[in-house]
Amino acid sequence: MDAEEGRENERVNLADDPSSGEMVQIDLHLLPREILLDILSRLPITSLIHFKTTSHAGYDLIADPRLPPMFRNRLSNSNPCLILFNYNILATPPCQLYFVDSEDCSGRVTKIDPPHHSEVNNLVDSCNGLLCLSLIGGSSESHSLLIYNPFVGEAVRVPPANRFPYQSEVFGFGFHPRTGEFKVVRIVWYLDVYEVDDASMVQVFTVGTTEWRKKGASPSQLRDEPAEALVEGSLHWVTDVGMGGAGVIFGIISFELADEVFEEIPHPPCQRFESRHYTLSVLNGCLSAATLVDDLHFDIWVMMQYRVKETWVKQFSFDPNFPGGRPSCLTIFSTVICALKNGEILLQNEDKDSSLVSYDPVENRFKTLQISGLPNSFQAPPFLPSLVSAKATMNLQLSTLY
């Protein structure tokens, strides 16, 4: 029997969860390849990676180019997972990635070793199974970004961008379905020594190209955080509009990734958005905005039709009249992460330590999730796992240029 025939006659064990002990045995040589791919596309990402690393046949099957799109389509109606990023300068290594399946938030986290972990200092964002990580080495010239798939394990570096002696910057990372391109957006504010004033510059990097492109100046000052929501191919940030009777008035600005233009997005029609805490997220594919005012009112608004001001709907509101008072798990540092398949809303509370909280709108009840191995503090963007490698994405984009 030759090596190829031996791989085809493997008998393998597949499980919905490799740690569960509930195994399903499959004789690979008894099933057509199309059926095997269909079976694999229905398994969790952790089972697929386990299968790939422990079986010759698994490695060959998961390398089949037909599997990644099948797997992605199966995920469209499923819960997003979570990637937790923890940075502790006193730890070795200082950064760590964790994976949590949001369908089993009562379970435990899985550690993932990031590449170049000694250089990683921040998680910019996640999109379509890829992470954008910020790297800082020993000098400002070595500052760069990394595009990384934590399950496939491959990463590509983004070339360093222009840097200035005194600067602040915000990033965004996203994908536009019409162009099929991943792009990184960098907005930098710096001290212009000739004008003795703050100047700004917008740069765009298309994954698969070799250099950043300048796109002029930023139309407004953005909050010093990465883009908070990717909706219909546009990244969104919170921006300061001005002052009102209750304090700073916030607005929403978007950057459309296909045409690479900024646009002001109408904000929810309420005075509460003059508050100090105002965050954006995506709920069921729609742009969402949440705010906490006077440590009392926590509202979640959803724009049912994108860019149409009249379609903002206040879906949830928690105030002192909430049964038993406003839940203690909601603080001025609470942010909305995503909607779960069971109809609950997943939130992150960042006070002294980070925690994950779910809200059940049917039972009108909050619950702090008990997850084994959760770090004390973390970033927790929603994450749809993918079998597409960062290098494959890079090569695909390069092939369209030449």
Instruction: Please give the biggest Cα pair distance in the chain.
Output: 81
User: pLDDT tens digits for 26-47?
Assistant: 666 678 889 888 988 888 887 8
Digit-coded pLDDT (tens) for 320-376: 455 544 555 565 557 888 888 888 888 887 766 778 888 888 887 888 888 878 888
Cβ neighbours around 62 below 10 Å, total? 20
Q: Where are the beta strands (DSSP E) in 36-109?
A: 81-87, 95-100
Residue 183's region, left for phi above 0, alpha for psi from -120 to 50, else beta, is beta
pLDDT(398) > 50:
no
The answer to whether the beta carbons of residues 274 and 247 sit under 8 Å apart is yes
The arithmetic mean of pLDDT across residues 389-396, rounded, is 60
Give the integer Cα–Cα distance in Å for 273 and 280.
Answer: 12
Determine the pLDDT at residue 140. 44
236, pLDDT greater than 90: yes
Rounded CA gap, 252 and 46, in Å? 37
- List the structure tokens of 292: 């906490």
CA distances from 316 to 301, 328, 398 (A): 7, 17, 45
Residue 16 has pLDDT above 50, yes or no: no
Domains of the chain and any CATH numbers: 3-75 (no CATH), 81-383 (2.120.10.80)
SS3 292: strand
Distances (CA, A) of 209 to 144, 154, 162, 201, 395: 15, 17, 16, 20, 9
Separation in Å, CA 281 to CA 115, 228, 252, 276: 28, 6, 12, 17
Tokens for 71? 């797997």
Identify the top-confidence range among 93-102, 306-315, 340-349: 306-315
Q: Which 3 state secondary structure label does DSSP give 45?
A: helix
Rounded to whole angstroms, how far apart are CA atoms 223 and 228? 10
pLDDT of residue 77 exceeding 70? no
67-75 and 33-41 helices cross at what angle (nearest 10)? 40
Question: pLDDT per residue over 128-174, tens digit each?
Answer: 889 998 887 544 444 578 898 888 877 888 888 877 777 888 899 99
Query: Scanning the structure block, which residue is given the tokens 């139309």?
Result: 219
Residue 297 has pLDDT above 80, yes or no: no
State the virtual CA torsion across 333, 338, 343, 347 in degrees, nearest 10: -20
Give the chain's radius of gyration (CA, Å): 23
Share of the chain above pLDDT 90, in %: 16
The backbone region for 261, taken as left when phi is positive above 0, alpha when psi lies in -120 to 50, beta otherwise, is beta
Residue 214 is predicted with a pLDDT of: 92
The angle subtended at Cα 224 by Cα 124 and Cα 84, nearest 5°, is 35
**CA atoms of 344 and 366, how far apart (whole Å):** 10
Residue with tokens 């993932």, as numbered in its chain: 112
Q: Phi, psi (5° rounding) for residue 290?
A: -130, 145
Task: Give the model's pLDDT for residue 185.
Answer: 95
Task: Identify the weakest region by mean pLDDT among 206-215, 231-240, 352-361.
Answer: 352-361
Can you tell me the distance from the alpha carbon of 292 to that of 251, in angstroms, rounded to the nearest whole number? 15
Choose between 247 and 364: higher pLDDT.
364
